[in-house]
Amino acid sequence: MMQQTKHMFQPMLIGLRTLATRGVTTTTAAAPAKIEKTVNNVTILGRVGADPQLRGSQEHPVVTFSVATHTNYKYENGDWAQRTDWHRVVVFKPNLRDTVLEYLKKGQRTMVQGKITYGEITDQQGNQKTSTSIIADDVLFFRDAHN
């Protein structure tokens, strides 16, 4: 049974190893003969870095905010350290967008569920920069016990 499971996951492991070398492509050809199921889910739990901001245009509004998560680890000498990661979250869903903009505040604990996406942003000097964002499907709000 174990040998069969190993072979079943072999194509996935090869894909994960080569993922970093592949670029993102978009095709507009006809639908493939076989459509595979794929999964792109991310869940983060952390603190909001700044009050959410309304961006985009009136026709295509988007709310953005950042969430900090951290990892604690221990050095061999016994000292502890903490690494903080910042995540850019974008909200397109109209009702969720309005709720996040009105009620989510800097420092508040939140859980975001969504999809991770990669793209490019052109800065004010015209330079292209890669961007990683989480497109929120759901945002949960938490109150601190002392508030």
Of 4-8, 13-17, 53-57, the least confident:
13-17
**Does residue 1 lie within any of the structural domains?**
no
Structural domain for 100, as ranges: 42-141
Per-residue confidence (pLDDT) for residue 143, from 0 to 100: 82
Q: Total structural domains in the chain?
A: 1
**Does residue 52 lie within any of the structural domains?**
yes
Task: Name 64's Cβ contacts closer than 8 Å, sequence gap at least 6.
Answer: 52, 53, 55, 88, 89, 90, 91
**Does residue 36 lie within any of the structural domains?**
no
Element (H, E) at 116: strand 109-122
Could you report the per-residue pLDDT of 8-31, keeping only the tens digit for each? Answer: 444 433 343 333 334 555 656 677
pLDDT band at 138 (very low <50, low <70, confident <90, very high): very high
**Does residue 35 lie within any of the structural domains?**
no
**Does residue 62 lie within any of the structural domains?**
yes
**Does residue 112 lie within any of the structural domains?**
yes
Single-letter amino acid, residue 7: H
Could you report the per-residue pLDDT of 110-126, keeping only the tens digit for each? Answer: 999 999 999 998 888 99
Report the CATH number that the domain containing residue 46 is assigned in CATH: 2.40.50.140
CB-side neighbour CA atoms (13 Å) of 146: 2
